[in-house]
Structure 1
Amino acid sequence: MESKLPVVPVSPSNHFANFLKACKGEEKTRSPFEIAGPLSQVFCLGVIAQRLNAKLIFDPEKKEIVNNIFANALLAGPPPTRGWEQYYSM
């Protein structure tokens, strides 16, 4: 199994510093954003489905749960603090 694992690039920074440096464009992340983003989305959908004990239908194009209004409200969450709106677009 070990031969099938991905090679992690050697970096002088730890996991947390690597994330911050990647945000600033100084390093490439060891856990790419294009994988971590959709994976986080799946986790959030799973938590909502488990919390409501319901089967949910998610439209990835519209980025909304189409069969449960309450679940969709949980997905959106509370409004952002004033001044932070630009960072909370779905």
Structure 2
Amino acid sequence: MPKKQLRPKAPQNLSFTATADSVTVKWDAVDGATSYKVYRGASKQLDATVTGTSHTLTGIAADTKLTVNVSAVNDAGESSMTEIVTQTQAVTP
């Protein structure tokens, strides 16, 4: 009897790099995940579904904090979200 597939675990070790108008979030690959969903802001609006382990969010004002959540997805469903608070760089005159 085949083993039932389980939902993937939540992504771990989120980190980010920032410019004045974008943030790139990276995370470790999750065993069994086929894609990842990246959510923008406190309202957790879906920004993208990606197959890699990073995503760049654009169109963010300079010197702005932005909450980003990432979940892992496979045929059995979606993991819980892992959150990171990012901040774009300030623009120096």
Q: What is the TM-score normalised by the length of structure 1? A: 0.26
Structure 1 or 2, whichever has the larger Rg, is 1
Higher relative contact order (CA 8 A, sep 6+): 2
Normalized per residue, which structure has more helix? Answer: 1
